[in-house]
Amino acid sequence: MIKKLLALSLIICVILLNSDAAYALIVHFANGDQLQGTVKAETDTAVTFISDALGEVIINRTVIDAIEDPTIPPPKPEVEYTRELEAGYTLIKGNTEKESYIISGLFNRKAARDEITFKGKTMEASSEKKMDEQKWDVLGRYAWSFGEKKKWFNSYRTTVDHDRFANIHYRVTPAVGIGYWIKDTSDLKLMLENSLGYEYINYNNNTESEENVVMIPHGYLEMPLIGKSVLTEDITAYPAIDDFGDYRLTSTTTFTNPLNEYLSVRVSWINEYDSNPANGADKHDMTLATSLVFKY
């Protein structure tokens, strides 16, 4: 009995190995149409295809543009570019009148070995035609990957920022650090980074300039939501080395919903915290902004 079962199993394996493999594919036709199903057989001139809609059909290869296996992710380009221009404006009228605007730009070049990022942002707001917020910041960053899977990287960054109502004429913070990409796929991007930097602050009034050595932990999260919309969280802290209780923290949460290939609507929640603000300014500075983003 055992011999018969072994012989039957061997016969089944031989049949399966010699039969045409059926696997899920998407046929892209030259006219732009698509057909999803399984391939029953292939020759040099035709493909025998089984779909739920049409059943078994024989398709001439001359009308096929490509055959895609959706289980295999498309290869990443050797160099990926991200270029964005963002602009938002809010006007509120009624018992009070408040207006604000935000303008920002981003350039990112990412290759297998290294990454270059430049970004800048300016914000201004006024209430009853009196300015109560004015700030801008720019960032330049270079990262060089290493290790077998290129998940580790060294980073070199410099930020310059200005905040009129926090009494900061300008603040310059160059830093060097190390980071790790925990996940870097289309479904999830998660990165942690820590840097050591030097902070120089020049104030608007006669307050003496300030210098600090700071630690700069940084985290970034990006994940898709409904459809093609994307949620991101970018958080950076600046604790002073000699007093970790003296720190700044910036958290930017964005929801971006594409309208087409080039335009998207973005809602941003920006929370800036300073544990020791100058001249009695508020510790928290929070902004909710809606803007239009142009990618090119």
Residues of the chain with CATH 2.30.30.100: 2-68
Q: Give the pLDDT confidence of 84-116 residue by residue, as tens digits.
A: 999 999 888 877 788 999 999 999 999 989 999
Confidence of residue 207 (pLDDT cuts 50, 70, 90): confident
Map tokens 């963002």 to a residue: 86
Question: In terms of Cα–Cα distance, which of 137, 147, 214 is closest to 177?
Answer: 214
Cα distances from 156 to residues 53, 136, 159, 174, 200, in angstroms, run: 55, 21, 11, 8, 17
Lowest mean pLDDT among 97-111, 186-200, 206-220, 271-285: 271-285
Superfamily of domain 79-295: monomeric porin ompg (2.40.160.40)
Q: Give the pLDDT confidence of 172-183 residue by residue, as tens digits.
A: 999 999 999 999
Classify domain 2-68 by CATH number: 2.30.30.100
Assigned token pair, 89: 């404006």
Pairwise CA distance, residues 271 & 249, whole Å: 8
Assigned token pair, 118: 């430049």
Cα distances from 246 to residues 22, 184, 278, in angstroms, run: 63, 33, 12
Confidence of residue 52 (pLDDT cuts 50, 70, 90): confident
Across the chain, which distance is largest between two alpha carbons, in Å? 99
Average pLDDT, the chain: 87
Mean pLDDT of 137-155: 95
Q: What percent of the chain has pLDDT over 70?
A: 89
Cα distances from 244 to residues 99, 107, 275, in angstroms, run: 36, 32, 10
pLDDT at residue 74 in the model: 64
Assigned token pair, 8: 């039957």
The residue type found at 64 is I
Assigned token pair, 178: 């190390």
pLDDT at residue 18 in the model: 44
Does the pLDDT of residue 165 top 90, yes or no?
no
Pairwise CA distance, residues 26 & 37, whole Å: 7
Mean pLDDT of 159-185: 94
Radius of gyration of the chain (CA): 28
Residues of the chain with CATH 2.40.160.40: 79-295
